[in-house]
Structure 1
Amino acid sequence: MRFPLYIAKRYLKSKSGNNIINLVTILACLGVMAGTTALFIVLSVFSGIKDYSLSILDVDTPDIRISPIQGKTFLVDDTFIQKIQKTPDSIFYTKILEERAFFKNKDKEEIAYIKGVDSLFNKVTPLDSLVMVGEWFAANSTNTCITEYQLTRKLDLNVYTDLLQIYVPKAGKGYISNPNNAFTTIKPQVVGVISNQNQEENKFVYVPLSLSQQLLSKAPNEVSYVDVALRNDINPSNTIEYLKENFPDYRISKREEINGSFYKILNSEKLIAYLVSLLVVMMVLSNTSGTIIMVIVDKKNDIKTLLNLGAPLKSVRRIFATYGFLLNVIGMFVGLGIGITIVFAQLHYELVMITPSIAYPIAFEWENIWVVCITIILFGALASLLASGRISERFVKKR
């Protein structure tokens, strides 16, 4: 292998007597540099978009959720509480009751979800940090609510002055004889409005847990699910394993599973972007194949000499395959250097802005470097092998 590598390095360092060959070689190297830079930046941008999107979800998504496998609610009894308090990691947990409801204010009507939360809710999902008008209701509140901004606009609500009418059908069977008795109604006072960039949160109105249990005719310890947050920024795998062992009749979901569809969309977008960029890279690497073929034609006399000296045809092919490989690797490293510089420049100096206060999201990840290197090396080696395969005894014998 040393012989093909030595000759390939000599060809790469030395100038050809044909200026066109020198120019095409430089252009091929620049093409690999540009393709590498573009691929790395595209992957870094989508990594940044993913991190930005997940940072929005982090505010209202817990680390772990405990929900019933069957049915919509379950009872949080003393045994349940004792088990969850014995988790190996230090945690916060909050009880939540959620149901679809009908909301009305004057002549405005909307269907959304009522979400009853206890006093520890904001320690698990800190939505109180998103309050833009008013304040989050106190722990001892009994008849107050927090509305989302878009829902507040649709219902034309005023903080501290309006009472929001919430209707839920009464449970039961048979025909409704009196429509006035078909619904359970509460009228909590609006004390705050939150602004959340997560579109899923447009459908919730938050009320104290006891008020939602009263509205839905549930027991004081009956909830839809229990959300868990780790107090320290640690891997939740130990806690998840413990909960699955001690709560076999419940569904234990980690953050990625709670928003599974959203994670799939983000990963799919990054995959599509990679495949599109890969097409560009393959076109660039095809130029490398053309360059190798031109070098082979230019070095035809050298090839004859090597074969006459007893060099195997296979070794001669390796010379030009190695030549193309080295050309791609040089372009790859230079392109990566340029791409990394651009990424860090955007991270530190915010060169491109979405709004005057928000920089275009981008992230540096070692995973992206490995993906780029494997892609360029793999497809570059394939292009080089295909081009070097053009060397044959028939080619050498031609005048």
Structure 2
Amino acid sequence: MSLNLKYLIAARYIRSPKSHSVINIISGVSIVAMAVPVAAVVLLMSIFNGLEDMTRDQFRSVDPDVNITAQQGTTFAIDAVDAAALRSVEGVEALSFVLEQTALVEAKGKRAIITVTGVDGTYKEVIPIVDRIVAGTFTPSLDDSDCLVAANGVMYELDMLNTSAIGQQLRLYAINRSRISTLLPVGGYTRRELPLTGIYSSTVNDTHTTAITSLRAAQSLFNYPDRASSVLVKVAAGEDANAVAEQLQAAVGEAFKVRTREQSNSIYRLMALEKWGVFFIAMVVMLIASLSIVGTLVMVMIDKRDDMQTLRTLGATRHFVRDIFIGEGRLMAMVSLAIGLVLGVVLALAQQIFGFVGIDTQTLLINTYPVRLSLVDVVLTAVAYIFISYVVINLTVRAVMDKNNA
């Protein structure tokens, strides 16, 4: 009953007119000033979620769910990996052996350093590369003939974007590891000439310089017979990639390292750090904004000084009077929290569904800011705000009452 009475009086103080009308105005401004940062945090976290989802979608077209590489060296013998055992791991949908090395490509007098990726027949089951083909077809090999599928970045380097490049011959040069000679450097290179059968967009950036050919062609070019640089694994829908990676690690042993897409690419860790860095900066802004309630509470306590004396005369304890003003501050904080959360959620959902705010860029596959509202972020924002505001309110009321010996 005592607790209800405290909050009833506190609510009465919020609603009732003060002796100075400016206090009513300042109280309203304080509530708005505390609500805006809450809405801003919800929006910021939702935008980071959307950017993270967009990044995952883009890298999914070039990065596998799980990647298996050798602990030492850049390649390993294909026979050293029990492919049947890997396929039997629960959650594995498909896997592909690839060999990836650096080479020089030449066409029409233009040269560029690129990454050549040799893939087997199951590569397109692991990486959705077919969806990214912008010209020609995804044909790294045709019967006994080897072909080449190049990223748009490769074609840009060769100045072949504006020509009918499909079908043209591209020459690849790589160091011949078995015939390296300082006296006759020309003999230390392996050369292959392959027809271009397709061009794809990686969606990550326009400078992605990778060309895909058959695994046998890459093994021949780089003089790595029966070897691969990694095993790409596609995880079945609904399965946990981390759990599958742990099982794969047990299957391949300590000679190999197994990493998920997030573990292989530092951009995911960077985005997570950015998101939570922005969150903590927003908490500082929220702390500063919550100080607006300090002035409001001080003015209200001064305005209600006679009421405080009346309550003390009626037998109210100092603790009871203090809790009234703490309750008033908390009620103001909860009102501002509710307004801020509703505003932030509505704006985030509106952008997520309707995409009102657009992006003026030609380099991305989207035309609106990506947003994804997360209940976890909303709850975390509310908890952080309640903690900050409650601490500020308690310290303010205690300091004012101690100073005035109320």
Alignment of 1:11-160 (within 5 A): 11-77=13-79, 80-137=82-139, 140-141=142-143, 142-157=145-160, 158-160=164-166
Structure 1 residue 373 corresponds to structure 2 residue 382: yes
| TM-fit CA distance, 1:272 | 3.3
TM-score by length of 1: 0.92
Contact 1:147 1:205 in 2 (8 A): yes
**Residue by residue, what CA displacement relative to the aligned partner does 1:54-79 show, whole Å, maximum 9, x if unpaired?**
11112222111111111111122286
State the partner residue of 2:193: 187
User: Comparing 31-40 with 124-133, which one deviates more in the overlay?
Assistant: 31-40
State the partner residue of 2:394: 385
Change (3 A) 1:284 1:238: closer
Q: What is the one-letter code of the residue matched to 1:254?
A: T
In structure 1, what is the Cα distance between the partners aligned to 2:180 and 2:97? 32
In structure 1, what is the Cα distance between the partners aligned to 2:228 and 2:62? 18
Structure 1 residue 217 corresponds to structure 2 residue 223: yes
Runs of at least 5 residues in structure 2 that lack an aligned partner in the other structure: none
In structure 1, what is the Cα distance between the partners aligned to 2:59 and 2:38? 32
Change (3 A) 1:144 1:393: closer
Change (3 A) 1:8 1:182: same
CA-based RMSD: 2.1
TM-score by length of 2: 0.91
Change (3 A) 1:393 1:333: closer
Q: What is the one-letter code of the residue matched to 2:318?
A: L
State the partner residue of 1:10: 12
Runs of at least 5 residues in structure 1 that lack an aligned partner in the other structure: none
| TM-fit CA distance, 1:143 | 2.1
| TM-fit CA distance, 1:34 | 1.6
Change (3 A) 1:268 1:382: same
Q: Which runs of 4+ in 1 moved over 4 A?
A: 172-175
State the partner residue of 1:266: 271
Secondary structure class of the residue paired with 1:388: helix
Aligned pair count reads 395
| TM-fit CA distance, 1:187 | 0.9
| TM-fit CA distance, 1:172 | 4.6
In structure 2, what is the Cα distance between the partners aligned to 1:41 and 1:55? 21
Pick one of 168, 173, 178 that aligns with 1:167.
Answer: 173
Q: What is the one-letter code of the residue matched to 1:29?
A: I
In structure 2, what is the Cα distance between the partners aligned to 1:394 and 1:387? 11
| TM-fit CA distance, 1:201 | 7.0
Change (3 A) 1:311 1:96: same
**Residue by residue, what CA displacement relative to the aligned partner does 1:273-314 show, whole Å, maximum 9, x if unpaired?**
323433332222111111111111111112222333343323
Residue identity over aligned pairs, in percent, reads: 22
Change (3 A) 1:163 1:208: same
Q: What is the one-letter code of the residue matched to 1:199?
A: N
